[in-house]
């Protein structure tokens, strides 16, 4: 659960900017293109530089120590965001945040995998994934309430301070597990060169398709996570506190509920047919595609929020299954690397290009549609979700063979 708290802070610190976009944009007179670059490439490109090297360290050294140091650095960057006096300072703080958050997810997933066997790994990953889904609830709810009470600057300051007690919990209670013990290995073997690790991972079609599906899904998801608050503020005139509460209720809470149920359901179904892990991923994106089209087509705030709940719930169901697949398709000696490769691709394309592309498209459409430009830009996510569903669906035909290849892959 402590690692789930780390993941919660990791995602909340990067997502909370979404609910704060409008006051920041107004104060510094920023365009949608600048905001899109700030929330996307400024974070993603620097994340991409650090994520794989940190993961390679985590495959060799103490993962818990690496997570703790990175947590303290990204918390400092979050607090520094509130001190910014212009776009350049915002950019620098966002880049430092990205570099440190690169050391959060991959080492944590590796630790969880060495605590639970494959039989129970989807449930364990679902509990770990509670941090990600809870952040979708917490970021708008807490951000909306704090910005109304203390302003956007102090909101970042408070979020930065939240990292200190979580770092103390890590130091006090989380111990480094033995690699491979739960998989019946007395030793995980030597850490192979990165090029060899990448070749071994991507020779498995299931892993390649999983990465592609995650990338496409993340492109659409992060575009929605980081621009949806601005859409509701512009199109329906909602204030941050009210908006944050409604996003928490109709987006965050269903995602969290789905996450809680999804891991147990994935393990139950996978005992009968391992292909259900991929099918649950496919279902999440397949529901999201038409739901997004309806959400942005309707002109009723009430209907839009109600529709938002359905894809959030179904996508929550797939979190544990997806995290378990990432680990089950990797050998013990390269689990952090496997997670890092996925995080690298997802962050560069999803976090980096998703919000940026949507922001630039909205800026392009603003001359014709004015404040409603975001509504029309959002239709871009529908075919992206559909393509992700297709990619996840193709995994099933290769899964059994690739699981066995991963089990036999020990240097």
Structure tokens at 3: 């690692």
pLDDT score at 168:
93
Least confident of 81-85, 118-122, 153-157, 183-187: 183-187
pLDDT digits (tens, 9 = 90+) for 244-264: 899 999 998 998 888 888 878
For the chain, what are the domain ranges?
A: 2-179+194-408
Q: Using CB atoms within 10 A of its CB, is residue 266 exposed (0-12), middle (13-18) or buried (19+)?
A: buried
DSSP character for 234?
H
Q: Between these two residues, 373 and 329, which has the higher pLDDT value?
A: 373
pLDDT score at 261:
84
d(CA 358, CA 370): 15
Neighbouring C-beta atoms of residue 150, cutoff 10 Å: 13
Instruction: Give kind and range of the element (H or E) at residue 151.
Output: helix 121-161
Single out the residue of 394, 349, 319, 324 nearest to residue 136, CA to CA. 319
Q: What distance lies between CA 97 and its chain's CA centroid?
A: 14
d(CA 389, CA 384): 9
Which residues, in sequence order, are CB contacts of 2 under 8 Å at separation 6+? Answer: 166, 169, 170, 173, 174
CA gyration radius, the chain: 20
Are 212 and 278 within 8 A, CB to CB? no
pLDDT score at 328:
81
pLDDT score at 410:
55
Q: Reply yes or no on whether the pLDDT at 190 is more than 80.
A: no
Task: Tell me which residue has tokens 């050998």.
Answer: 331
pLDDT score at 120:
73
Average pLDDT over residues 161-190: 78
Q: Between these two residues, 227 and 196, which has the higher pLDDT value?
A: 227
Task: Tell me which residue has tokens 């689990």.
Answer: 335
Task: Tell me which residue has tokens 């987006």.
Answer: 251
Structure confidence at residue 185 as a pLDDT band (50, 70, 90): low
Least confident of 2-6, 220-224, 254-258, 260-264: 260-264
Tell me the whole-structure pTM to 2 decimals. 0.75
* Topology adopted by domain 2-179+194-408: Growth Hormone; Chain: A; (1.20.1250)
Single out the residue of 316, 242, 269, 284 nearest to residue 390, CA to CA. 284
Phi, psi at 136, each rounded to 5° = -70, -25
Q: Between these two residues, 273 and 92, which has the higher pLDDT value?
A: 92
Structure confidence at residue 225 as a pLDDT band (50, 70, 90): confident
Task: Tell me the pLDDT of the chain averaged across its residues.
Answer: 86
Average pLDDT over residues 150-171: 93
pLDDT score at 390:
95
pLDDT digits (tens, 9 = 90+) for 326-370: 878 877 667 777 777 887 888 888 878 888 899 899 999 998 998
Q: Between these two residues, 339 and 229, which has the higher pLDDT value?
A: 229
Average pLDDT over residues 227-247: 90
Are 40 and 355 within 8 A, CB to CB? yes
Average pLDDT over residues 294-318: 91
DSSP character for 191?
P
DSSP character for 410?
-
Least confident of 2-6, 264-268, 276-280: 264-268
d(CA 345, CA 362): 24
Structure confidence at residue 183 as a pLDDT band (50, 70, 90): low
Three-class SS of residue 338? helix
SS3 sequence of 267-294: HHHHHHCCCHHHHHHHHHHHHHHHHHHH
Are 79 and 161 within 8 A, CB to CB? yes
pLDDT score at 180:
65
Q: Reply yes or no on whether the pLDDT at 186 is more than 80.
A: no
pLDDT digits (tens, 9 = 90+) for 78-119: 999 999 999 999 999 999 999 999 888 878 888 887 888 767
CA angle 172, 174, 177 (to 5 degrees): 145
Q: What distance lies between CA 190 and its chain's CA centroid?
A: 30
d(CA 211, CA 75): 28
Structure confidence at residue 191 as a pLDDT band (50, 70, 90): low
Are 115 and 179 within 8 A, CB to CB? no
């Amino acid at each position: 659960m402590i690692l789930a708290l780390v993941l919660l802070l990791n995602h909340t610190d990067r997502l909370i900017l979404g609910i704060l976009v409008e006051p920041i944009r107004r104060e510094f007179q920023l365009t949608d293109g600048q905001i899109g670059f700030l929330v996307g490439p400024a974070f993603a490109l620097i994340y991409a530089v650090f994520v794989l090297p940190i993961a390679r360290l985590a495959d060799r050294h103490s993962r818990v120590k690496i997570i703790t140091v990175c947590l303290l650095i990204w918390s400092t960057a979050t607090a520094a965001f509130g001190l910014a006096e212009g776009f350049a300072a915002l950019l620098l703080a966002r880049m430092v945040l990205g570099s440190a958050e690169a050391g959060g997810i991959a080492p944590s997933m590796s630790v969880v995998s060495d605590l639970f066997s494959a039989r129970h790994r989807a449930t364990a990953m679902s509990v770990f994934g509670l941090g990600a889904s809870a952040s979708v609830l917490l970021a708008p709810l807490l951000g909306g309430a704090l910005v109304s009470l203390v302003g956007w600057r102090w909101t970042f300051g408070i979020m930065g301070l939240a990292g200190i007690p979580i770092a103390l919990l890590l130091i006090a209670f989380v111990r480094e597990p033995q690699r491979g013990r739960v998989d019946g290995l007395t030793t995980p073997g030597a850490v192979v060169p990165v090029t060899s690790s990448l070749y071994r991972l991507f020779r498995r079609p299931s892993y390649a398709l999983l990465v592609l599906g995650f990338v496409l899904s993340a492109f659409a998801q992060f575009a929605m996570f980081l621009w949806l608050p601005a859409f509701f503020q512009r199109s329906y005139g909602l204030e941050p506190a009210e908006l944050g509460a409604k996003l928490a209720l109709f987006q965050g809470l269903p995602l969290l509920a789905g996450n809680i149920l999804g891991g147990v359901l994935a393990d139950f179904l996978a005992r009968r047919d391992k292909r259900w892990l991929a099918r649950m991923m496919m279902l999440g994106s397949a529901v999201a595609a038409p739901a997004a089209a309806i959400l942005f087509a309707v002109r009723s705030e009430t209907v839009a929020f109600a529709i938002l709940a359905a894809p959030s719930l179904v996508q929550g169901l797939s979190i544990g299954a997806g995290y378990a697949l990432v680990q089950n398709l990797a050998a013990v000696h390269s689990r952090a690397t496997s997670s890092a490769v996925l995080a690298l691709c997802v962050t560069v394309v999803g976090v980096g290009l998703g919000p940026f592309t949507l922001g630039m498209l909205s800026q392009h459409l603003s001359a014709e549609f004015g404040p409603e430009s975001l509504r029309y830009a959002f239709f871009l996510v529908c075919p992206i979700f559909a393509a992700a569903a297709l990619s996840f669906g193709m995994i099933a035909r290769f899964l059994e063979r690739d699981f066995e290849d991963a089990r036999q892959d020990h240097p």
